[in-house]
Amino acid sequence: MSPLLATIIFTCVFAASHTAPQEPLQAWTEDVVSYSGFQLWSATPRNQEEREFLLKIRQDYELEVWKEARSHNSPVDLLVSPDFQTELKLRLADAEIPYEVTISDMQTAINNENPNVTDSGDEYENRKMAGRFKRYLAAFISFFPGEDYFTKTQQFPYAYGHKMDWNSYHRIDDIYGYLNYLADSFPRLVQLVSIGSSFEGRPLYVVRISSSSSGTKPAIWIDGGIHAREWISPAVATYIIKQLVEEPSNERLLQNVDWYIMPVMNPDGYEYTHTSNRLWRKTRSSTGARCRGADPNRNFGYQWGGKGTSRDKCSEIYHGANAFSEPETRAVSNFISGKANQIKVYLTLHSYGQYVLIPWGYDVQYPIDYNDMKDLANKAASKFRRYKYTVGNSADLLYPAAGGSDDWAKSIGIKYSYTVELADTGNHGFVLPASFIRPVCEDFFPALEVFVDKVATLKV
Ligand code: 0X9
Ligand code: ZN
pLDDT tens for residues 73-120?
Answer: 889 999 999 999 999 999 999 999 999 999 999 999 999 999 976 544
Catalytic choice (316, 421, 442, 449):
421
| C-alpha to C-alpha distance for 336 and 332, rounded to whole angstroms | 6
Q: Which ligand is nearest to the CA of 66?
A: 1
Q: What value does the mean pLDDT take over residues 156-162?
A: 62
Segment among 140-144, 271-275, 304-308, 359-363 with least mean pLDDT: 140-144
Q: Which of 398, 399, 420, 422 to mutate to test the pocket of ligand 1 (most atoms within 8 A of CB)?
A: 398
Over residues 267-279, the mean pLDDT reads 98
Backbone angles phi, psi at 197, to 5 degrees: -125, 150
3-state SS, residue 403? coil
Q: How far apart are CA 112 and CA 123, in angstroms?
A: 22
**Largest Cα–Cα distance of the chain, in whole Å?**
88
At residue 280, the 3 state secondary structure works out as: coil
Nearest to 57 by CA among 36, 76, 71: 76
> Which residues are placed with Cβ below 5 angstroms of ligand 2, an ion?
227, 230, 350
Q: Any idea what DSSP says for residue 219? A: E
Outline where 186-326 has alpha helix (H): 232-246, 252-255, 267-275
pLDDT digit string (tens) for 202-228?
A: 999 999 999 987 768 999 999 999 999
What ranges in 45-166 are assigned the alpha helix state H?
A: 48-60, 85-94, 106-113, 121-141, 149-155
Taking phi first (over 0 means left), then psi (-120 to 50 degrees means alpha), and beta for anything else, what does residue 37 get? left
Please choose from 307, 357, 417, 430 the residue to mutate so as to test ligand 1's pocket, defined by most ligand atoms within 8 A of CB.
357
> For 121-130, 166-175, 178-187, 398-407, which range has the lowest pLDDT when averaged over its residues?
121-130
Question: What's the pLDDT score for residue 157?
Answer: 45
Ligand 1 binding pocket, CB closer than 6 Å: 227, 230, 297, 350, 357, 361, 394, 398, 401, 404, 406-407, 419, 421
Q: Report cis status (omega within 30 of 0) of the bond before 169.
A: no
| Cα(283)–Cα(286) distance, integer angstroms | 9
Query: Is 421 an active-site residue?
Result: yes
What is the layout of strands, in order, in the sheet containing 258-262? 190-197, 203-209, 258-262, 219-223, 343-351, 416-422, 355-358, 390-393
